[in-house]
Structure 1
């Protein structure tokens, strides 16, 4: 089904929707945010008032079944992604779901099957696939700026997260039953999905995960290797209890390398025997907006499908599952 205007409802209007995503639905042509939901009704009401949203709910099914809503954005923790996606699909409504797509790859497959059976599209909020910064890296690779790609290396680490007062962290992001794993699932998912976008699908994975500090039950360090379908090799290390914050990716080719961060906005640097060249980009105010624009364009029939689908999102979940399966 194609829409003249996509009327959105948000399930879970928490922090991520305040600036990163929520306002974008109102600013995109042929798009409108008309309802939000949060389990605590007063918080949903407050969000609706502050963002000029017509309706608010404290019940997800009521929002999903609202006849004025065409498509649903699920911005809850991963624990409820599968449930709400399947309910929205059965209501005949396209779904845009937060990352990681679900608690695990098996749940992703159920979500994909439900949306396929209902004939509705499923999108995942790996928004870097639509940001100019990462589109530039893809262009550089396609234009052989570093020759043929040989391998990619990722090193990401940060200081341990603790609650105020130094107590053990209790954020949902480090509770496996709510998040699928620890901060690896929350943060590394962006990098792994971005590498899928830049280099293609990963076909084989080996990984190790541990909890070295004991601040929470989930893993706090993951290291691994992977092989892409096109023969490129990859190595990655993610540690969430180190002494400083580091975020570095390098794609090494036969004639040079591309260096960049996943979360920072420092310049992309291309290095060859001829020297180095940097490329800088301003992040949009609402980082989800470029990706949501592709979704709206898809749903209104103006262009090809969004680059972040249920199929691509599930591939990232499979890689993460493989890297931590010995720990769980």
Structure 2
């Protein structure tokens, strides 16, 4: 760890999400951003200057070899997550890897096994799991506030112009709705209801074969989840968890909700829970806690949780015939 018992971060893959994460990292007292890396040294230097980071590298390997870096945040395109996470773990670094952790269940297993082999903390960066609203809603559900949960509705939609190209529409990089944003509603269903007994999924495709929108029904013994992801339409992006005695509605956009409502007996209780920064800070704080406790995984979003979700996504990938 760094001076004053602070935890030193490195970031690789310096796009939009990395910028948002770095901005939130500044808000955490015991966090230091000490190194960033990009294939472009100019991009690395610009990013480093923006966040007062002392080191900028033009290769990921150079950052992995930096003895001052305690934990690496991996925000590169989806197709590189597995190999880069494993390489960072081999180099003795803890790892926070952007979701989805891998494009296949097989690679997800390899990543968690590497964490165990090298005895280093590894977590999929499912930041939504750690925001105050989602943590509190899960507690309310587990307390039986709305009775038995038998319905979850969630979507994540936005319109992206395919003409702009880039990662989102790139088949080689794991583009499309399912892997980029569909994992969010699937995460919520898994968090509230667990592993489904049956999955039905249908998609609308782009000209190059990636899914522009995917609708999913997850069927459980006594419950169902109705989920949707789209990169070619807008939606209200509210989430509803329905039970036998009421329902809970996460504020839109639900994956970064700043509060929620409990509706019971025709009465509504509104709860406000602002996030620290954009919301990425909460997952970084969890990483710090686990590293200080010598844990290689989080109890709130464990290796098994990530593997369960990866297996659900894998089944949908096969059903909708995604090419990766």
TM bracket, shorter-chain basis: 0.7 to 0.9
- The normalised TM-score by structure 2 is 0.88
Where do 5+ consecutive residues of structure 1 fail to align? Answer: none
In structure 2, the residue matched to 1:193 is 187
- Measured on the aligned residues, the alpha-carbon RMSD in Å equals 2.6
8 A contact 1:151–1:232 mirrored in 2: yes
What residue in structure 1 maps to residue 10 of structure 2?
9
Which residue of structure 2 aligns with residue 269 of structure 1?
261
**Rounded Cα–Cα distance in structure 2 between residues aligned with 1:155 and 1:305:** 26
Contact 1:158 1:245 in 2 (8 A): yes
CA distance in 1, matches of 2:172, 2:64: 24
Distance 1:84 1:145 in 2: 42
Aligned to 1:73: 73
* Structure with the higher helix share, 1 or 2: 2
Q: 2:201 aligns with which of 192, 208, 215?
A: 208
Does the 8 Å contact 1:222/1:324 carry over to 2? no
1: CA distance between counterparts of 2:2 and 2:107?
27
Where does 1:155-304 land on structure 2 (aligned, <5 Å)?
155-159=155-159, 161-163=160-162, 167=163, 169-179=164-174, 181-197=175-191, 199=192, 201-212=194-205, 214=206, 216-227=208-219, 232-242=223-233, 244-260=234-250, 261=252, 262-263=254-255, 265=257, 267-301=259-293
Q: Distance in 2 between matches of 1:269 and 1:154?
A: 15
Q: Report runs of 4+ in structure 1 exceeding 6 Å deviation.
A: none
Residues 1:156 and 1:82: Cα distance change in structure 2 (over 3 Å): closer
Secondary structure at 2:209's aligned position in 1?
coil
Alignment of 1:307-322 (within 5 A): 307-322=300-315
Q: 315-324 or 3-12: which moved more?
A: 3-12
Cα deviation for residue 274 of structure 1 reads 4.3
Describe the SS at the equivalent of 2:67: coil
Residues 31-70 of structure 1: matches in 2 within 5 Å? Answer: 31-70=31-70
Q: Is the 8 A contact 1:207 1:322 kept in 2?
A: no
1:27, 1:246 → 2: CA distance? 29
Aligned residues: 317
Deviation at 1:248, TM superposition (A): 2.9
What is the Cα deviation at residue 310 of structure 1? 3.4
Task: State the distance in 2 between where 1:155 and 1:60 align.
Answer: 34
